[in-house]
Chain A
Amino acid sequence: MRQVPEVRAAAVPAKHEKYPWPEKPVLLSTDVKRLDGPVKASGRAKYAYDIKRPGMLFAKVLRSPHPHARVVSLDVAAAEKAPGVKAVLPWRKTGEKVVYQGDEVAAVAAATEEQALDAIRMIKVEYEPLPHLANVEQSLRPEAPSVFEGGNVKVGAAEESGDLAAGFKAAAHVVENTYNTQVVTHACLETHGCVCEWNGDQLTAWVSTQAVHGTREGFAKALNIPITNVRVITEYMGGGFGSKFGPDVQGIICAQLAQKAGAPVHLLLDRKEEHLATGNRPSAYAKIKAGVGADGMLTAFDAETWGTGGAGAGSGYPLPYIYQFPNRRRVHKDVYINAGQQRAMRAPGHPQGCFITEVLMDELADRVRMDPIEFRLKNLPEQAPNAMWKAYFPIAAEMIDWKRRHPTGDPAPGPIKRGLGVAANRWGGAGRGTKAHAEINPDGTVIIRCGTQDIGVGTKTIVAMITAETLGIPMDLVTPQIGDSNYPFSGGSGGSTTAASVSPAIRVTTGKARDALFARIAPQLGATPDALTVADGKVSARGGKTVSWKDACKMLGTEPIAVDGEWEAGLSASGTSGVQAAEVEVDVETGVTRVKRIVCVQDMGLVVDMKTATTQIYGGIISCVNYALFEDRILDRNTAQMVNPDMEWYRIAGMSDIPRIDVRIMNQPERGVVGIGEPPAVSTAAAITNAVRNATGVTIRSLPLTPDKVLAALERAGGTN
């Protein structure tokens, strides 16, 4: 599984020489509606799930019910004879091990989905159950059975800087606590999967993926066929959040079943499979000792941290987050358990590091009796274009009317306690590598092709905006084409890299197309190419003629302009800063927290589309409200089987659970484009937890903030009523 890491680059690049972003843009940084909003809202958009091919079969995967077992025998004879079955694919060989519930064992393709479901139940598998580990506590026991090769725990190297002993000596107060966050799954609205169709040795796959090119390579490698024999199409996708970078096991199974059956095969997972086997955000634990001086300056930070990314996968995260501890030490260990493996998930590691650090920050602020924002301002890094928190905290405070905040513990009578909290976030979000192709037709229409995909960015919309901006034409003349590996290369949509990779490529490519147009038509306008400009749907020669865009394009005769271009430096940057504040109500007689309001101050360099940027931020915040309150992958502590692999007990906010959200976007046009998918999803949970602390006077150091934890903390603090 290839993952796109946080990509970092210059905070403010040297301006692009040939095609810098316009100083007075017409479309950029305005509100433009998502071009494909209507087809999505009306159900006309065809997702991988919706693809229907002639003679298409439906496939289902048989998965291990055991968290750890050896396959003793696998008998597919009955399934092969079952009604409607066209192909059966044993996936595990006899003697191989499965290491989590949901691990793939075999698969079936049949004429209907129901027949495939019935048929996988006819596959007879004999398992030899092996000792399993259901949670980190079990793995960390000295007497734990050795389940994973090389050990159940992998201890990392210590990260150290400064003089820890001196730091604690300088501390007026020391806080020591343990914090933790839960495992959550990506819970994509569209589950993972694809439709595979072979034409001879050519494979076409309609995949729900956030990387059409990466998935093409993935198929080629796993099937041992040339990359040129694979085409991956993703016109629309229903969410990935970091979990959809390749064909995955089910993609390879789908392709092999299609080959075996000689027919197209549809293999989209169900919700249970989605929770069990398609990735998750690792848990995080941190035992921390931190010191603060009487003046409110942080002095020392000593942390032992651990977490689980499931069966043999890591659980790293940044800590401490953003704030400056001059003397620090941290040792992390990855703890393995028999559960599905982690995958990158919306700002990998940051929500964990943010939660732990920001809750600690409020506890330290109380020790020195300082306002949490004032305390943070003292301990933030120096301000820079990619480190703007000192400017943003006061704006967030103004937006949420911070001055009404009472000290920790709402003194108001009655069971409903109100509180405010804050937290900051950061992310890289640089781009690179994208290529594009542009054609200007003699009728004035423009096609722009790019092998990227839309994971939620509004990619088609920003491609069309930048094209229209560069050519000085209305957007409806532009046809953006994305989501096909036959289009020019673009990387996976991860690490918030899409906008910062694609936007410069489109700017350069359409700039080159414009120059090529000028070169072709300049003689007919009686001017030199460098005397031509475009704006307002017109081409003008300096001191000479002005013609409409359409008339200018007619001068091309029958031969369109066709140019290729790619990402170049000078149009994108790295590093975002954001601050969020939360307002909550906690019912101290039931332990139920309701989030009333979130405010968000966020930058992302040059804003391409103000509207899709804002809706990206809404989505991030809502996902982090879920992280704060609701989402939790719960494994039975005895069997290591997931008890809530559904949308019933795996809770996700509905409309009535989503607070009012106010977003203030800080445009930084001089920096160029920076991605925004990740950062808003980082700090909401920390801000909510701090608001709950402010409301109730008790600190919950564990996510999610379920009623049992709130009531238990209140009980420890002296009862509720």
Chain B
Amino acid sequence: LKAFAYVNAANEREALAGLDAQRGRVMPIAGGMDLLGLMKNYIAQPERLVNVKNLDATIQASATAGVRIGAATKLIELIEHQGIAKNYPALVTAAEEVGTPQIRNAGTVGGNIMQRPRCWYFRNEEFHCLKKGGARCFAVEGENQYHAIFGGGPCHIVHPSSLAVPLIAYGAKFRVVGPSGERDIDAGEFFQLPADNLMGETVLKPNELLTHVILPASTSMKGATYEVRFKQSHDWPLAMASVVMTMDGNRVKSARVVMGAVAPIPWRTEAAEKVLAGKTITEAVAVEAATAAVAGAEPMTQNSYKVQVARTAVKRAIMRAAGLQTV
């Protein structure tokens, strides 16, 4: 663990003043669930940390205008918030399945969205991979059983954020502040493929901060998240899916279907959404949409099973969103 300076920011202004335009030199820290591991493994070696735990950590909910969640909100506070549980079940299910009780008690919404990939080639210092400035992705000819089945490379990580998946499905926006002011970015536009951004996973610049997540009102929306994991305690999903459907009576007016742990970004599948539009949900419709969702998958040498796992996650998320029974 390289020695570092520490800035305890009282507010956004102080936090921004502490950041730096050069990637990796200064890093914001909230719960530290991910960052401390990166530092102990010498994957991140910042010179300075800026504590952002004191920034907005509140949840402002209104029945008609949606919800505004401070990025410093802890996952446990999100899970225990009654309005969120009632109106955004796909988000709460995803939050409940994150890590362990300790991680949910200390980890934040912003941290979950901004965490770095869990790819074992990225996390182990021996492998000088593309994401660390190296010449190759070791997963391509190596151990890729947990890697991407979508995204096209050249780096084949899966995005680690479980919250990002339902947030995109709900059509959330992220408020970002930086030296040149603030802006709201569609959650779906926030994450970037390796082809566009190899060294990071989002459009956020090193001197900018993600401060809030803004959810639209969920009137006439039905949503669910389904996560397939190998272990029931502390494990990452093999694949997950969030489905949010805007209903017109029994019929789906429009839907958003997003898969997690299958691509370097949360992977929205418009093919599945098209299948659902205008339909009443039955198991057969769910299977059709799920099959469409994985139709373009490009598995690697060891992970073709993930296509079936992702398909199941989508099918079950659709059925759960519609109130149908699944396992």
Q: Are A654 and B234 in contact (CB under 8 A)?
A: yes
B-chain residues with CB within 8 Å of residue A638 when the two chains form the complex: 138, 141-142
Residues of B within 8 A of A629 (CB): 230
Q: B108-152 CB contact bits vs A (8 Å, 1 = yes)?
A: 000000000010110111110000000000100111011000000
Residue A368 at the chain B interface, CB threshold 8 Å: no
* B245 within 8 Å of A (CB atoms): no
What's the count of A-B pairs with C-beta under 8 Å?
A: 100
Q: Which residue of B lies closest to A630 (CB)?
A: B231
Answer whether residue A227 sits at the interface, using C-beta atoms and an 8 A cutoff: no
Q: Would you call B124 and A720 a contact (CB within 8 A)?
A: no
B5 within 8 A of A: no
Contact with A along B1-40 (1 / 0, CB 8 A): 1110000000000000000000000000000000000000
Contacts of B312 on A, CB cut-off 8 Å? 415, 587, 589-590
Contact between A707 and B124, CB atoms less than 8 A apart:
no
Structural contact, B327 and A416, CB atoms closer than 8 A: yes
Q: Which residues of A contact B235 (CB under 8 A)?
A: 651
Cβ contacts B239-251/A at 8 Å (1 or 0 each): 0000000000000
Contact between A645 and B305 (Cβ–Cβ < 8 Å)? no
**CB atoms of B230 and A707 under 8 A apart:** yes
Bound complex: CA A638 to CA B125 (Å):
16
Q: In the complex, what residue of chain B is closest to A706 when comparing beta carbons?
A: B230
Q: Does B302 contact A (CB under 8 A)?
A: yes
Contact partner of B302 (CB less than 8 A), chosen from A639, A644, A708, is: A708
B232 x A654 contact (CB < 8 A): yes
Interface presence of A591 (CB below 8 A): yes
Q: How far apart are B49's CB and chain A's nearest CB, in angstroms? A: 15
Specify which chain B residues have a CB less than 8 angstroms from the CB of A636 in the assembled complex.
121, 127, 138, 142-143
Q: In the complex, what residue of chain A is closest to B120 when comparing beta carbons?
A: A643
A623-657: CB near B (< 8 Å → 1, else 0) gives 00000011000101111011111101101011111
B302 nearest CB neighbor, chain A only: A708
Asked if B305 contacts A653 (CB within 8 A), the reply is no
A651 and B235 CA atoms in complex are apart in Å by: 8
Q: Which of chain B's residues have a CB closer than 8 A to the CB of A645?
A: 124
- Nearest CB on A from B259, distance (A): 14
Q: Closest CB of chain B to A657's CB: distance in Å?
A: 5
Docked-complex contact A589 and B308, CB < 8 angstroms: yes
Q: How far is the CA of A591 from the CA of B312 in the complex (A)?
A: 10
**Bound Cα distance from A591 to B311, whole angstroms:** 12
- Distance (Å) between the CB of A1 and the closest chain B CB? 26
Q: Which of B120, B232, B303, B327 contacts A414 (CB 8 A)?
A: B327
A122 to chain B, nearest CB (A): 12
Q: Which residue of A lies closest to B228 (CB)?
A: A590
Give Cα A641 to B138, complex, Å: 11
Given known contacts A587-B327, A643-B121, A711-B308, A654 and B126 CB-to-CB distance under 8 angstroms:
no
Q: Which residues of chain A come closer than 8 Å to B123, judged between CB atoms?
A: 646
A634 with B232: CB separation less than 8 A: no
- Output the nearest chain B residue to A115 by Cβ-Cβ distance: B3
A6 beta carbon closer than 8 Å to chain B: no
Partner of B305, one of A114, A634, A707: A707
B233 adjacent to A654 (CB under 8 Å): yes
Task: Name B315's closest neighbour in chain A (CB-CB).
Answer: A589
CB of B257 within 8 Å of the partner chain: no
Most chain B CB within a 10 A radius of its CB, from A634, A649, A654: A649
CA–CA, A76 and B230, complex, Å? 45
B289 contacts chain A at the CB level, 8 A cutoff: no
Contact yes or no, A708 B305, CB < 8 A? yes
Q: A643-B120, A707-B238, A712-B305 are in contact. Are A637 and B232 (CB under 8 A)?
A: no
Cβ-defined contact, A656 with B232, below 8 A: yes
Cross-interface CB contact of B120 among A637, A644, A707, cutoff 8 Å: A644
Convert A387-428 into 0s and 1s, putting 1 for each residue whose CB lies closer than 8 angstroms to a CB of B. 000000000000000000000000000111000000000000
Chain B neighbourhood of A101, CB < 8 A: 126
Q: Cα distance A114–B3 when bound, in Å? A: 9
**Quick one: closest A residue to B232, CB to CB?**
A656
Residues of B contacting A653 in the complex (Cβ-Cβ under 8 angstroms): 231, 233
Which residue of the partner chain, among B118, B124, B146, B238, contacts A590 with CB atoms under 8 Å?
B238
Interface pair B232/A641, CB less than 8 Å apart: no
Question: Is A65 at the interface (CB under 8 A from chain B)?
Answer: yes
Per the bound structure, the CA–CA distance linking A118 and B45 in Å amounts to 12
In the bound assembly, the distance between CA atoms of A706 and B229 in angstroms comes to 11
B164 at interface, CB cutoff 8 A:
no
Chain B residue with Cβ nearest A592: B230
Answer whether residue A117 sits at the interface, using C-beta atoms and an 8 A cutoff: yes
B309 at the interface (CB under 8 A from A): yes
In A688-721, which residues have CB < 8 Å from any B CB?
A: 706-708, 711-712, 720-721
Instruction: Contacts A589-B312, A591-B309 given; indicate if A641 touches B126 (C-beta within 8 A).
Output: yes
Which chain B residues lie closer than 8 Å to A720 at the CB level? 308
- The answer to whether A65 and B126 have CB atoms under 8 Å apart is yes
A432: CB under 8 A from chain B?
no
* Complex CA distance for A341 and B272, rounded to whole angstroms: 50
CB atoms of A637 and B234 under 8 A apart: no
A707 with B309, Cβ < 8 A, contacts A637-B142, A638-B138 known = yes
- The distance in angstroms between the C-alpha atoms of A629 and B287, with both chains bound, is 28
Cα A65 to Cα B127 in complex, Å, equals: 10
Q: Considering only CB atoms, which chain A residue lies closest to B305 in the complex?
A: A708
CB distance from A631 to the nearest CB of B (A): 11
Instruction: Give CA–CA (A689, B192) in the complex, Å.
Output: 42
Which residues of chain A have C-beta atoms less than 8 A from B231's C-beta?
A: 630, 651, 653-654, 656-657
How far is the CB of B111 from the nearest CB of chain A, in Å?
17
Give the nearest-CB partner of B309 in chain A: A590
Binding site for B on A (CB under 8 A): 65, 101, 114, 117-118, 121, 414-416, 587, 589-592, 594, 629-630, 634, 636-639, 641-646, 648-649, 651, 653-657, 706-708, 711-712, 720-721
Task: Please list 13 pairs of residues, one from A and one from B, whose beta carbons are closer than 8 Å in the complex, sorted by A's number.
Answer: A65-B125, A114-B3, A589-B308, A590-B238, A590-B308, A591-B305, A630-B231, A636-B142, A639-B126, A649-B118, A649-B120, A651-B230, A651-B235
Q: A643-B121, A706-B230 are in contact. List 6 more A-B contacts (CB 8 A).
A: A117-B1, A587-B312, A591-B305, A594-B232, A637-B142, A651-B230
In the A-B complex, the 8 residue pairs with the smallest Cβ-Cβ separation, listed nearest first, are: A654-B233, A656-B232, A708-B305, A643-B120, A656-B233, A589-B312, A711-B305, A590-B228
